[in-house]
A and B are shown apart, each in its own frame.
Chain A
Amino acid sequence: MRALIWCDEAEIPAAVGAESWSVQKPIMSRGPAATLNLRAQNLVETVLTSVSSRASDLVRIAAYIYAADQDLSRGGVADVYGRDWRRHIALCLPVSDPVFWQQDVIQSRLVDVLSFLTEDRWEFYFSQAPPAVHQIPLPVNERTLLATPDTVILFSGGADSLSTAVEAAIERGERPVLVSHRPAPQFDARQHHLADALRQRFPQWTFPQIGFWVHRKGSDSADSSQRSRAFLFASLGAAVATELDIGRVLLGDNGIISLNLPFTGQLVGALASRSTHPAFLRLFNDLLAEVFPRPIQVTNPLLFQTRAEVLNVLQDAGCAELLQETNSCSRGRGRPGVTPHCGFCSQCVDRRFGAIAAGLEDHDLAERYGLDIFTQTLPIGEARTVAESYVRFARRLKELSDEQYFDEYPQLYDCIDPRELAPHETASRLAALLKQHANNVLDVVATMVARYSPELAAGVIPEDSLLRLVVGGVSRVVAESTEESNIFMQEGKIWTLVFRGHTARVNDSRGLNHLVGLLRHPGQQFHVISMISGDWAPSGEDGHRRITSSDALDAGLRRIDPSAAEPQIDDQARAEYKMELDDLQERLNAAEMRNDRDDVAQLEQQIDFIIKELRSAAGRGGRMRPVRDAGEKARQAVHAAINRSLKSLRVSHPLLGRHLDQALKLGFFCSYEPDFLITWAT
């Protein structure tokens, strides 16, 4: 997707507008057609005389990026090749200082950080904003500023951001300002509630809070992944920090979430979010170094801690009960108050394991989760995938040595800043983090298996719950029975084939007619001549159908003198084919080396043709197949027809293809002999 987005009154450069874009649309933050709400408490109206235009610009840019990100689809779950995941987005923005933002170095920093975070390709075109939009209204209580805060904490209302605030204020005696992004009212209420709770428990600090309302208005977003949200969140923190003359912004996430290594192989790149990834923070700080004259660093103080260790901070500070007031669920919006956590998203699964590992189950009740992954059936899809992969990932981590982590998960190299003084120490700490996580997860698994062992023994834990997947069970293949509806039925020119719940519809062919005859008579042998003549009468006592010469004549076959039998392709023709094949192969290699697509396609076609010709004429071991008498001719015809159908079935219905490969006995006498009793509706 190539999208051109213009924000409010931004100018679109003529050359950019003249390019071909698959999507062109505006983002308006003002007026009746506004699609973006951008509002915050106003610092200007209280103590500060002005908010710098630079900070205001950064927040505006981040808000527009966030809106554009949600406005453009990344494709659906069935986009198996991820063709739509990466978008090319050109954003035309109004800012107070377009000359500054248009500089190469700024553009380059912006693109670098956003490319890593979102995997999109970004272009920016800045134009002069009218004076009225230079400022973002930022009202804040005067107490906030008079108390001289020294740290900004990005406060989402999740367990990790709460621990970050507690650790900073209680353990280190810092005076943090809590900065929140409020995408929806329920987040706002939770964040306020938690900040109030902090003030009550720790009255020595006021925990001032600044909230920004930045969200879409009107229609639902075209994409829910919101990979750019971290850029907005970090920008809000940096903007407040620069206005309050603070150099330190904390964005806390436990190390496992921060690294977000792929716990399943399907998670490639930013399919696993990078919201607090060390490389994102590094690239963001590189941008800040260019944007603000005073150094500001956004850091993750929890990078080397597991979830359990992070939750222990609450325990150690004597406020473990606050855990139940936090929410980590990525599907939390619209959930009932009694079960605010879905229980199966990756955030919920990690939190559940972390809380059990930290011994905080009393403050993170299973009943507060919509799904108890340990003891309830995991529905197919996200729930099954996350829970099963999560444990499998931990088992894999447990097997690997510190250094093997970097072989198996080279993403870890992204977490290391080549400029740092002791990168090997960082590597060791990351490895220790992964090892600890694996231990925690497997300890929790062992704890839960022990806790529910009576129920497991009694068989009352549902199938396909996480505990049952851990302890294993009896394969259905072993216990295969006949009750399934297997169908091999012709309807006009189409055959409907259903086997073990999988359906294929294929075109009529002679081979399928042979196959259905065999399937109707499992265990019985039929001579190829009777199969051609369509005679499926019961066999004799020995299981063989007697074949007469009239049967052969009925089947349109005649006896041929065996001495006159000749191969279908003689030796000379075969040799010529092979020479031509070698020649084509060489030409194909050369064409591929020079990237000549037309030649490659043409040569591949020619090679395929020759291979088919040779295969059709070859028997076992590549020997040429001679034409023999009527029986042999019938055998060849039946086998060729069946093999053609099987070849097609192996593609259209591999399960059935494999079953038939195993169950069919083909010779002069053919039969269908499955290993287990199976019935077919024909």
Chain B
Amino acid sequence: MGHVRLGRLPKTLRWQGVVGLLEESPDDVSAVARAVAAAAEGRLRELARDPSVGYCFWLLTRLSSASREPNFAAATAGLGLAPSNTDSAIAFVAQVSDRVRAELQQFPESGPFSELASLAMRRALSETVGQHGQSLFLSSIDDVQQAFRSHSTAMRFGDLSKRFFGDFFARTLRYFVDKELSNTVGMGNALTSIEASQEFSESLDLYARQSARIMEKFASGWYGKHNWESGGAISREEAQGFVAVALRKLRMELMRPEP
């Protein structure tokens, strides 16, 4: 490991409430997620207008649209990419990574959330390709196109959106929770071992991804309408508008009290 800058959660009541739950009842991951969402509510509200999240989601919409064009590589040129028709899938995603990084440099106000959005976007891309072809490592740019083409219908785009937002929220929860998780593992707490903390971490991750299921239909409907109206060229503003509603829905879902 190289050098790292570690942090702790603030000493405010809400954040210490999260710590308390980690110490005493981490088995209830929904309560932990709810407490984090409540403690970070102000910042999560701001994310609705976050340009980094908006850009990453927009790029997904446009890659889906581009996959329906006969020449996928040429169609992505308008997105600031310059792949060749002989590129491998790995090289293509690496190129997308470079492009996203260059774009997100413009939004320092996003803080860590720009990187979290970028990771979620790349995971959605990577998973989509990996699950479509025989092997991510052996896939070509044609496989990337086929994988995205299969997600370019309104219904399947909902699945892609769910992956993106689910992963974004999972990483966001981990970003906060991991500031204290290790400190709450030990003999005096509910999590007494590394095995237990790993199980908790995976459960929290799963919970965040499952919470994003509420996105699926909504995203399908939105994409179908806007992609049609824009002729396959959904604008950044339109995507940002969708992100605002989507993130609010997800935040509300996480904060929803148990029935």
Contacts and interface: CB of A to CB of B under 8 A. Distances in A.
Interface stretch (A236-244, A271-279, A518-526, A671-679): A271-279
Nearest to A391: B194
Interface residues of A, number: 102
Interface string A78-104: 111111011110000000000000000
A264 B5 CA distance: 11
Contacts of B178: 264-266, 389
Interface string A255-282: 0111010011111110111111000000
A508 B93 CA distance: 57
A405 to B, nearest CB: 10
Contact of A260 (B1, B13, B193, B237): B1
Contacts of A121: 105, 108
B1 A257 contact: yes
Interface stretch (A30-38, A567-575, A646-654): A646-654
Interface in B84-113: 87-88, 90-98, 101-102, 105, 108, 111-112
Interface stretch (A39-47, A142-150, A417-425): A417-425
Contact of B2 (A78, A260, A402): A260
B88 A423 contact: yes
Contact of A418 (B28, B98, B193): B98
Contacts of B135: 403
A475 B108 contact: no
B13 A652 contact: yes
Nearest to A226: B3
A396 B200 CA distance: 13
Contacts of A80: 7, 9-10, 15, 40, 176, 179
B20 A502 contact: yes
Contacts of A423: 88, 90-91, 94
A473 B187 CA distance: 6
A655 B9 contact: no
Nearest to B222: A593
Contacts of B177: 265
A369 to B, nearest CB: 16
B1 A381 contact: no
A396 B198 contact: yes
A8 interface: no
B112 A381 contact: no
Contacts of B95: 418
Contact of A651 (B14, B31, B182): B14
Contacts of B91: 416, 418, 420, 423
B137 A403 contact: yes
Given A469-B193, A592-B248, A593-B244, A418 B92 contact: yes
B75 interface: no
Interface in B19-41: 19-21, 23-25, 28, 31, 35, 38, 40
28 contacts: A82-B112, A85-B112, A86-B111, A256-B1, A257-B2, A263-B1, A264-B181, A265-B174, A267-B6, A268-B116, A271-B112, A272-B2, A385-B182, A386-B1, A392-B194, A406-B126, A407-B123, A413-B122, A416-B91, A418-B91, A428-B137, A469-B186, A477-B25, A502-B16, A502-B20, A593-B238, A651-B17, A655-B24
Top 3 A-B pairs ranked by shortest CB distance? Answer: A265-B174, A593-B241, A472-B193
Given A273-B4, A473-B193, 14 more contacts: A74-B5, A265-B201, A275-B3, A388-B194, A410-B118, A414-B94, A475-B190, A476-B188, A476-B189, A595-B241, A653-B13, A653-B20, A655-B23, A658-B24
Interface of A: 74, 77-83, 85-88, 112, 115-116, 119-121, 225-226, 253, 256-258, 260, 263-269, 271-276, 330, 346-347, 349-350, 380-382, 384-392, 395-396, 402-403, 406-408, 410-411, 413-414, 416-418, 420, 423-424, 427-428, 463-464, 468-477, 500, 502, 504, 589, 592-595, 597, 600, 651-655, 658
